[in-house]
């Protein structure tokens, strides 16, 4: 969906159409602060006399805050993604969704993204933990810099379920490492020559 389409849906579902700096990341996120401010002036108190339309809109905004701040937070700490917007169309269907599974899936995905640097480091340094890499096609040079590219770009070819995915086995491997199984200097002389000047100290 385009940015105007997203904003039109926000207005349709909540009666609130954010403007300017409230919409960031190419129009895919809304500032949580802006939503809170709008909710503060929208309906300070909901009573038995409050119209259903206003209650529904307020509920959608509250759910939006719950999505962005508790269930599916991002690293910004102040943004909620508009990708959750379609779940707010029919409020009566919300209890039927498997929210626990969705939150866990989101958490695991976020953990994978956050730990990618550490995972690549362990693949580079600790030989027994390295997943097998398929051979390159003839005439294709291996990617040198950054070193992570050879793992990240090609790990999709590996779908094994061996001991590398077994935490107790990994602990045993780390406990029994010998000197030759740990690479202290992953950059060989050929790679060091190609490094930019700012990567070295005179």
Q: What is the pLDDT of residues 172-188, one digit of tens each?
A: 888 988 888 888 876 66
* Boundary residue ending a domain (54, 88, 113): 113
pLDDT over 50 at 54, yes or no? yes
**128 and 190 housed in the same domain:** yes
Same domain membership, residue 80 and residue 37? yes
Q: 64 with 13, same domain?
A: yes
Burial track 11-47 (b if 16+ CB lie within 10 A, e otherwise): eebbbbebeeebbeeebebbbbebbeebbeebeeeee
pTM above 0.75, yes or no: no
Is the sign of the CA dihedral 176, 179, 184, 187 positive or negative?
A: negative
Q: Which domain holds residue 192?
A: 116-199
How many domains does the chain contain in total? 2
């Amino acid at each position: 969906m385009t940015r105007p389409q997203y904003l039109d849906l926000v207005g349709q579902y909540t009666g609130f159409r954010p403007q300017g700096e409230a919409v960031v990341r190419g129009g895919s996120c809304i500032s949580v602060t802006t939503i809170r401010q709008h909710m503060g002036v929208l309906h300070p108190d909901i009573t038995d006399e409050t119209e259903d339309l206003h209650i529904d809109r307020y509920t959608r905004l509250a759910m939006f805050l719950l999505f962005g701040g508790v269930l599916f937070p991002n690293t910004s700490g102040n943004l909620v993604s508009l990708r959750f917007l379609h779940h707010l169309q029919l409020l009566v269907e919300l209890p039927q969704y498997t929210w626990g599974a969705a939150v866990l899936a989101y958490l695991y995905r976020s953990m994978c993204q956050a730990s990618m640097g550490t995972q690549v480091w362990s693949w580079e340094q600790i030989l027994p933990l390295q997943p097998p890499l398929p051979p390159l096609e003839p005439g294709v040079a291996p990617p040198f810099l950054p070193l992570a590219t050879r793992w990240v770009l090609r790990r999709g070819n590996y779908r094994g379920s061996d001991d590398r995915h077994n935490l107790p086995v990994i602990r045993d491997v780390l406990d029994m490492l010998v000197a030759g199984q740990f690479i202290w200097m992953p950059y060989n002389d050929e790679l060091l020559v190609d490094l930019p000047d700012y990567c070295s100290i005179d």
